[in-house]
């Protein structure tokens, strides 16, 4: 029956799978694709795989559909401390340097992307516990994401068989696991609590984003994942990783995950014949000859020029100074400079300090000020610079206390800082100012889940779902970094199902 799938259909199916999941099945792997589709067709209730393929490529797939499909097309071949060289580099060079630089603030954020069943994420947790003597005084986030729900469920349980310890030093099992009655091994609670498991589709989801916790990462592990992606998607994923990392952050990939797209942004670093990639800090000036100290004397005149809607009106006795100010503006952005567009461009390049400098001292239109201030807050939060994000968020609230989005942004910063009660207050303030603010209900639901208040969380989630019903699945939710109503509904439903099964 499976032989009915022709090469033409397999080629189309391969392209379709890439588009929805990122998984790349070249002709040499079509036999694997056939086996996966045959297995998936049974679970979807189709006896004929060809009929299943026809439905699959024409149906409106939900996250649940993609999860089921991924469980048949992905292979979780992993074990603790796989890719030994990368972990040695992490333990001996990357982590010591990073820990030393953070000894005053004591926080680290690490992402295991394509985490499979959790062995990689827990291996990172084990290293941190081994290296940091006062780890209880640190705020550490290890985010573990995958597209396969079965893998995530296993990682969340934290129970492993001997097979997960093959080629693993004995001290790992002996020091950080407890044997169960069934003869398996359970990760100790202090390490289990360090890892957050979340569904994330690298092909479709948006990162960095405060909503899925992928912002401001210090280190990203993505081992043996990119090799399954098409070159174009791999390039897009790597670009997302770059933007998710803080300056001087690290990307570690597997030996089979050669990434050409990293060359233009990341700096490849060869350590003991193993290549890791670093996002170097780039202090790019707005223009080659731009000097803030020279710009400062002209701020009053630049403000006047901006305030007159970019039509130069000479003031008696100040003609020469105003003309100089205009020349400065022309050097920065040209005669017809649009301040808002200019700042947005700088922001999108990740040059947040330059964006601050660009608007500092200038008189902004109200509609521009709101967008630019929120961009700065998100930009600094994405880079893990929470104090700067907090400063600009407070500046935004001071300028417009009744803007609900500013209070929502403040809540996201509080969550990053571990100030959960303050976050709850800010989110409730957001809803008070705007009773239809979907993301505030969503975030409150998540916070209540973390606090074990499941009945309360359900109420907030239901409010969010009710508001989402006014949107089509393809519509982007306001202030969501591009997340659609359909995607957010799936996330909420998944969380609620997960909580019912625990």
Which of 161-170, 216-225, 354-363, 457-466 is the least confident region? 354-363
Q: Does residue 84 have a pLDDT over 70?
A: yes
Cα separations (Å) of 246 from 166, 222, 258? Answer: 34, 16, 22
Which of 45-49, 208-212, 257-261 is the least confident region? 257-261
According to the model, what pLDDT value does residue 264 have? 59
* Domain at 84-278: CATH code: 3.40.50.150
Quick one: what percent of the chain has pLDDT higher than 70?
77
Across the range 93-105, mean pLDDT stands at: 90
Gyration radius from the chain CA atoms: 25
Closest CA to 261 of 249, 253, 270: 253
Cα separations (Å) of 149 from 113, 156, 229? Answer: 14, 10, 19
d(CA 316, CA 338) in angstroms, rounded, equals 26
- Better pLDDT: 243 or 436: 436
In DSSP notation, 444-455 reads HHHHHHHTT-HH
According to the model, what pLDDT value does residue 363 have? 53
CA trace torsion 496, 439, 341, 332 (10° rounding): -90
According to the model, what pLDDT value does residue 360 have? 54
Tokens 């880079």 sit at which residue? 383
Residue 458 in tokens: 């359900």
Q: pLDDT-derived band of residue 283, with 50, 70 and 90 as boundaries? A: very low
d(CA 216, CA 270) in angstroms, rounded, equals 24
Between the ranges 3-7, 23-27, 62-66, 216-220, where is the mean pLDDT highest?
216-220
Closest CA to 307 of 286, 285, 325: 325
Do residues 109 and 217 touch, judged by C-beta distance below 8 A? yes
**What pTM did the predictor assign?**
0.68
d(CA 370, CA 352) in angstroms, rounded, equals 16
How does pLDDT run across 406-430, given as a tens digit for each residue? 999 999 888 877 788 999 999 999 9
> Cβ contacts of residue 487 below 8 Å, gap of 6+?
63, 204, 205
Q: Does residue 473 have a pLDDT over 90?
A: no
Do residues 195 and 119 touch, judged by C-beta distance below 8 A? no
Q: Does residue 141 have a pLDDT over 60?
A: yes
Do residues 306 and 333 touch, judged by C-beta distance below 8 A? no
According to the model, what pLDDT value does residue 149 have? 77
Q: pLDDT-derived band of residue 365, with 50, 70 and 90 as boundaries? A: low
Run of H or E including 435: none
In DSSP notation, 243-287 reads HHEEEEEEEEE-TT---GGGTTTSEEEEETTEEEEE-------SS
Provide the β-strand partners of residue 229: 23
Indicate the length of the chain as a whole number: 502
Which of 233-237, 271-275, 299-303, 392-396 is the least confident region? 299-303
> Cβ contacts of residue 484 below 8 Å, gap of 6+?
473, 474, 475, 476, 477
- Measured from the Cβ of residue 233, the count of other Cβ atoms closer than 10 Å reads 19
In DSSP notation, 460-499 reads HHHHHHHHHTTS-TTSBPTTSTT-BHHHHHHHHHHHHHHH
Provide the β-strand partners of residue 144: 112, 197
Residue 498 in tokens: 């997960």
How does pLDDT run across 190-209, given as a tens digit for each residue? 999 999 998 888 887 888 88
Q: pLDDT-derived band of residue 1, with 50, 70 and 90 as boundaries? A: very low
């Amino acid at each position: 029956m499976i032989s009915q799938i022709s090469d033409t259909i397999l080629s189309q199916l391969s392209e379709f799978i890439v588009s929805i999941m990122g998984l790349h099945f070249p002709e040499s792997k079509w036999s694997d694709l056939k086996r996966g589709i045959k297995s998936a067709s049974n679970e979807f209730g189709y006896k004929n795989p060809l009929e299943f393929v026809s439905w699959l490529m024409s149906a409106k797939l939900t996250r649940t559909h993609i999860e089921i499909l991924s469980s048949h097309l992905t292979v979780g071949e992993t074990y603790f401390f796989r890719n030994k060289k990368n972990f040695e580099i992490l333990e001996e060079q990357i982590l010591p340097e990073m820990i030393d630089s953070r000894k005053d603030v004591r926080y680290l954020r690490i992402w295991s992307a394509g985490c499979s069943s959790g062995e990689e994420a827990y291996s990172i947790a084990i290293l941190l516990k081994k290296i940091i003597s006062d780890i209880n005084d640190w705020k550490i986030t290890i985010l573990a994401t995958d597209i396969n729900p079965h893998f995530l469920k296993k990682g969340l349980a934290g129970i492993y068989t001997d097979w997960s310890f093959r080629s693993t030093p004995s001290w790992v099992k002996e020091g950080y696991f407890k044997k169960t009655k069934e003869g398996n091994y359970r990760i100790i609670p202090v390490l289990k609590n360090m890892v957050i498991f979340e569904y994330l589709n690298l092909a479709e989801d948006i990162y960095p984003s405060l909503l899925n916790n992928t912002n401001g990462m210090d280190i990203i592990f993505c081992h043996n994942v990119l090799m399954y992606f098409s070159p174009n998607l791999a390039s897009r994923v790597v670009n997302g990783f770059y933007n998710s990392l803080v300056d001087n952050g690290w990307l570690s990939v597997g030996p089979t995950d050669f990434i050409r797209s990293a060359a233009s942004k990341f700096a490849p670093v060869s350590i003991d014949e193993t290549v890791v990639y670093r996002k170097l800090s780039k202090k790019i000036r707005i223009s080659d000859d731009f000097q803030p100290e020279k710009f400062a004397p002209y701020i009053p005149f630049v403000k006047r020029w901006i305030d007159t809607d970019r039509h130069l009106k000479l003031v008696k006795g100040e003609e020469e100074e105003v003309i100089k100010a205009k020349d400065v503006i022309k050097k920065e952005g040209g005669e017809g400079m649009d301040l808002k567009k200019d700042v947005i461009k700088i922001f999108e390049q990740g040059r947040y300090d330059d964006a601050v400098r660009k608007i500092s001292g200038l008189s902004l239109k109200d509609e521009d000020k709101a967008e630019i201030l929120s961009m700065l807050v998100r930009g600094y939060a994405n880079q893990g610079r929470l104090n700067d994000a907090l400063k600009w968020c407070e500046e935004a609230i001071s300028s417009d206390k009744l803007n609900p989005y500013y209070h929502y942004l403040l809540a996201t910063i509080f969550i990053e800082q571990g100030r959960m009660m303050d976050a709850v207050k800010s989110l409730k303030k957001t809803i008070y100012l705007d009773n239809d603010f979907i993301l505030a209900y969503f975030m409150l639901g998540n916070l209540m889940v973390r606090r074990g208040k499941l009945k309360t969380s359900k109420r907030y989630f239901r409010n969010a779902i009710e508001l989402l019903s006014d949107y089509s699945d393809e519509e982007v939710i306001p202030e969501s970094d591009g997340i659609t109503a359909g995607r957010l509904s799936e996330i909420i439903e998944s969380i609620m199902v997960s909580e019912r099964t625990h």
